[in-house]
Structure 1
Amino acid sequence: MNLHGTAQIGQNHHLWIGGTDTVELAKKYGTPLYLYDVSLIKNRARGFKRAFQEKGVGFQVAYASKAFSSIAMFQLIEQEGLSLDVVSGGELFTALQAEFPAERIHFHGNNKSYEELEFALNAGVGCIVVDNFFEISLLKMISSKLDKKVNILLRLTPGIEAHTHDYIITGQEDSKFGFDLGNGQADKALEDVLAFEGFRVLGIHCHIGSQIFETEGFTLAIEKLFSHFKKWEESFKYFPEVVNLGGGFGIQYTSEDTPLAPEQYVTAMIDEVGKQMRRFEGRDLPELWIEPGRSLVGDAGTTIYSIGSQKEIEGVRHYVSVDGGMTDNIRPALYQAKYEAYVANKMNEKPAQTVSIAGKCCESGDMLIWDIDLPIVTDNDYLAVSCTGAYGYSMASNYNRIQRPAVVFVENGEEQLVVKRETYEDLIKNDIPLKTNVFV
C-alpha cells in the first residue's frame, strides 16, 4: 500500500488525508469527490525551489496549470512564490481572477488566437512562449498595434524524447510543437524575431516528454541545445538569458513507477548546464526555468467514490462499479493509465477478492482499474483512488450529462471547498430551447 503525502490510516480504520477523515468528507460533500493534500503540494513546490537556491542559480519554477486549474489552486501557487504556465485564454482569465501577478505568467500553446495573444499582452504577462511562424506574425501585428514590447521564448524541439525510463534521440520533425533544431526552422525563427524591435528575445523553451523517471533525457537535451547556442553565438551574436527546460517529472501512480525526488532532476539539469557553459567564456549562466505540473499536484490528489453495483462472471471477472469514471478521470480510457486504490472505510482489512473497477458511463471502455485486490465490498463502502490530482478535474467532462465533482483542499485538520459540485441546472444553463415551430 503506497500512501502519499499526509495520507494515513486513522481513526475507525479510515483513510485520513491532511488530518481529515476522507469518509466523513465523502458523506459531507458527496461523491465522486476530489481531495487535495495541500501540505504535499507545498512541500513539492519548496523542494523544487530549494534545489535551485542551494546551487545559487537564477530560476523560475512555473506551475503547469493544465494539470489542474482553479482560482484556489492559482492562489496557492502564488503564495508559494511560483510562476504560472497557462495555455489558453481560459486559464489566463482564471489566473487573473485569482489576482495572480501577470508578470509571473508564461503563455504557451501551439495555436494561440489573435484574441488570446492580445488579451495576454494587455494583461501584461511575463512572456509568450512562441511556437510557430504564424504566431510570430500575429505577435508582430499586436505588438505594433498596442505599441508594446513583448518578452518571448522560442519553443524548440531538440531531438530528444523521454518517457518513463526510455529516451529516444530523433530528428523529431514530426511534432505539432515548436521549431526544430535539425531542419533549420529554429535558426530561421531566431533570425526573424531578433530583427523585430518589438520583441525582447529572452531565450528558449523545450519540453522532452512526460512521466520521466530518469535524468539522462534532460542532460542529452541540454547538450544538444548548448551545442546549438554556440552556433547562434557565432552566427547571430546571441546567447539566451533564459533556458526553460520544461517539465515531465514523474510521480508514483503504482508500485511499478520509480520516480526520482524533484531535487534530483533539478540538480542534474543545473550540473549539465554548468558543464556546457565551459564552451562560453565570459558568459553568465542563463536563468533556468522549469514547469512542473503533475509532479506538484498529481499524487496530492485522491478521488473518493461510492461503491454501487457489482457483477460477477464466474471464472472470468468480478466487476465493482463506482459512481464516477471516465467523466472525472479519462486517463485510463484515453491511454491505459494505471492507478492504485483502497477501500477508504476498511483500510485495515486484508484483500479477499480480485475485482475490476468500472465507471458508470455508458461505455464498455469506462474502466478505472483492471484486476485489483480489495477487501469484500458493499454499496456502503467508499473507494479511494490515489494520484488523481493531475489531469483529472482538468480533463473532466459532462458525458452522459454527469455533473463534474466537487474539489476540497485539506491541510492540518482543516478543509475548504474550492470547487462546487455541478448541479443539473448547471448542465443546461447554456442550452437554448427551440423556438416554436421553427424547424417543423
Structure 2
Amino acid sequence: MGHHKTVWDTPAELIRHLQPEHPVMAFAPTVLQDRARQFLAGFPGLVTYAVKSNPDEAVIQNLVSAGITGFDVASPFEIDLIGRMAPHAARHYHNPVRARSEIVHAVKAGILAWSVDSRSELEKLFEMVPATMNGQGVEISPRFKLPVLGAVYDFGSKFGATPDLAADLLRLVAERGYVASLTFHPGTQCVDPIAWESYIRVARDICDSAGVTARRLNVGGGFPSHRVTGVDPDLGAIFAEIGDTVRECFGDDAPALVCEPGRGLCADAFSLITRVKGVRDGTSVFLNDGVYGGLAELPIVGNLDRIEVLTPQGQPRGGDLTGRVIFGPTCDSVDRLPGELSLPADIAEGDYVIFHGAGAYSTVTNTRFNGFGLMSHVTVMALA
C-alpha cells in the first residue's frame, strides 16, 4: 500500500495513508454510472443531466459512458462544455432569462431547445432565434409554476409563469411555427411522487386552454438524493407516478417526456471528507470546511445526516451520539451548519467527519473565502 495510488478503495483507506489536512471530495464513478442507468431504465422518456449541479468533467465523462445523451445547460460555459465533451448530445437551454449576447452564443452553438416564462423573453427569442435550424424545428417550452408541494425549497419564487400566462405563451409559440412544448420544475429534493402529479394535470389544462398539443413535457428536476439516514428515495415510485399520470391526463395526446435531474444523478456518487479542527470545551465542533466551501447549500436545504466519523487511523468512532453545533473554519459567524448534528460523544480533534451524498452543489459553489476552501479530489472504488 503506497502513497502514490490514484484510485483508493474507500475514503477510510485514504485517511489512513494520507491524513489529509484539507477537505477532500471522494468520487465513486461506479455509483454515478449505476444511478444514471437507473434513470435510463426507469424514467419513461429522455434523461438530461442538469450540468449546474456538478459540472466536473469526470462527471460528464462517466454519464456519457453510462448512456446519458442529453444535458440541461444554463450558460454559454455549460453549452460549450457539453459541446466539447459530448458533441452529439442534446443540449436544452432551459435558463428562461438570457442576455442577448448569450442568445447569440447559443444560436451559433446550434441550440434547438429553449424555455421561457415571460412575454418579454419570448419576444427576444422570436427576434433572435429562427424557427428551424439545419432542417430541424426549434423547440420553445413555456415554463409554468404552481404553489410549492413536497419540495425542500421553491424554484417558483424566481422562475415560472402562471398557468394562464403559460397557455398564452404556448399558443404564441405554436402560431409562430416553433415546436411547442411545456416545462416545469417541482422544486428540489422532492421525495413524494405526488409533487409531480399536480404539475402534470395542470400541463394538460394549459394545453387545452391554448388549443395546442404539446410536443414534449419536461417534468424538470427535483429528483431526490439520499440525504437522510434510513430514508432511501424511491425513484421507481416517482417514475411510475409520472408515467401513470401522463397516460391518465393525456391519453393518445401524450407528449414525449423529458426530465433534467441534477442532484438525483450526481449527489450520491460523492462523499466530502472533512477534519475536526477542534472541539470547543467538549461542545461545538469546528471543521476545516463549512458553508463557504463544500457544505454551502446545507443552510438552504438542511443538513446531510448520512455522516461517518473516523479516527486518524480510519476506524469508526463508536461513542453514543449527541447533538453538536457544527462550525466551519472561517471567522464569519454565518459559517455554521443549521441546527445540530448527531455525532459520537467521543469525537476528538484530528478526527474525520465524512458527509456522504455531497456531490451536488458543493464543488461548484466552493469558495476561497478567508483563505480556506482548498479542496482536493480523489477517486475511490466505493464510498464505504
Normalised to the residue count of structure 1, the TM-score between the two structures is 0.75
Aligned residue identity for 2:9: T
What is the correspondence of 1:37-52 to structure 2 with a 5 Å cutoff? 37-52=28-43
- Are 1:189 and 2:165 matched, yes or no? no
Structure 1: tracts of 5 or more residues without a match = 1-10, 12-17, 414-440
The 1:134/1:164 distance shift into structure 2, 3 A limit, reads closer
Match runs of 1:337-416 below 5 Å: 337-345=303-311, 346-352=314-320, 354=322, 355-368=324-337, 370-374=340-344, 376-411=346-381
**Partner residue, 2:51:** 65
8 Å Cα contact 1:71/1:95 also seen in 2: no
Question: What is the CA distance between 1:239 and its match in structure 2?
Answer: 0.6
How far residue 243 of structure 1 moved from its aligned partner, in angstroms, is 0.8
Partners of 1:186 and 1:136 lie apart in 2 by: 11
CA distances 1:323-353 after superposition (whole Å, capped 9, x unpaired): 1111221123345434332223454441246
Q: After superposition, what is the alpha-carbon deviation per residue over 1:124-170, rounded to whole angstroms, capped at 9, x for unaligned?
A: 2341122322322222232259977762232332525223599x9xx
Aligned to 2:296: 330
**Greater alpha carbon shift after TM alignment, 77-86 vs 138-147:** 138-147
Match status 1:306 vs 2:270: no
Partner of residue 186 from structure 2, selected from 208, 212, 222: 208
User: Which of the residues 241, 253, 256 maps onto 2:215?
Assistant: 241
* Aligned residue type for 1:211: Q
Q: Which position in structure 1 is the counterpart of 2:233? A: 260
Matched AA of 2:286 = S
Q: Decide whether aligned partners of structure 1 residues 85 and 361 sit closer, same or farther in structure 2, where only a CA change above 3 A counts.
A: same
What corresponds to 2:160 in structure 1? 178
Residue 112 of structure 1: how far off its partner (Å): 1.3
Q: Is the 8 A contact 1:103 1:125 kept in 2?
A: no
Compute the displacement of 1:90 (Å): 2.2
Displacement of 1:30 in angstroms is 5.5
Q: 2:245 aligns with which of 269, 272, 284?
A: 272
Task: Describe the shift of the 1:50–1:401 C-alpha distance in structure 2 as closer, same or farther (beyond 3 A).
Answer: same
What is the alpha-carbon distance in structure 2 between the residues aligned to residue 114 and residue 144 of structure 1?
14
CA distance in 2, matches of 1:406, 1:76: 19
Q: What is the deviation of 1:33?
A: 0.8
Partners of 1:147 and 1:246 in 2: how far apart? 25
Question: CA contact under 8 A between 1:359 and 1:366: conserved in structure 2?
Answer: yes
**One-letter amino acid matched to 1:242:** R
Contact map agreement 1:327 1:397 (CA 8 A) in 2:
yes
Alignment partners' CA distance in 2, 1:134 and 1:28? 55
Q: Secondary structure at the match of 1:250?
A: coil
CA 1:403–1:350: 2 relative to 1, 3 Å: closer
For residues 351-382 of structure 1, the C-alpha deviation after alignment (integer angstroms, 9 at most, x for no partner) is: 24634332101122312372422152444322
Q: Give the secondary-structure state (helix, strand or coil) at the position aligned to 2:325.
A: strand
- Structure 1 residues 103 and 250: CA distance shift in structure 2, 3 A: closer
Q: Distance in 2 between matches of 1:28 and 1:393?
A: 21
Pick closer, same or farther for the CA change 1:65–1:404 going to 2, 3 Å: farther
Larger gyration radius, structure 1 or structure 2: 1
Instruction: Give the TM-score, by structure 2 length.
Output: 0.85
Cα distance 1:214–1:333, how it changes in 2: closer, same or farther (>3 A)? closer
Q: 1:259 to 1:130 in 2, by over 3 A?
A: farther
The question of whether the paired residues in 2 share the 8 Å contact of 1:143 and 1:150 is answered with no
* Length, aligned pairs only: 369
Query: Higher relative contact order at CA 8 Å, sep ≥6: structure 1 or structure 2?
Result: 2
**One-letter code aligned to 1:177:** F
Pairs within 5 Å for 1:91-106: 91-97=78-84, 99-101=85-87, 103-106=89-92
Letter paired with 2:318: K
> How much does 1:106 deviate?
0.8
What amino acid is the match of 1:337? N
Cα 1:300–1:344 change in 2 (3 A) is farther
- 2:5 maps to 1:25: no
| Counterpart residue identity of residue 258, structure 1 | V
Q: Which structure 2 residue ranges, 5 or more long, are not aligned?
A: 2-6
CA distance in 2, matches of 1:353, 1:232: 57
AA matched with 1:46: R
Task: Provide the C-alpha distance between the structure 2 equivalents of 1:145 and 1:289, rounded to a whole number of angstroms.
Answer: 21
Q: What CA distance in whole angstroms lies between the structure 2 residues aligned with 1:146 and 1:406? A: 45
Specify which of 154, 162, 187 is matched with residue 149 of structure 2.
162
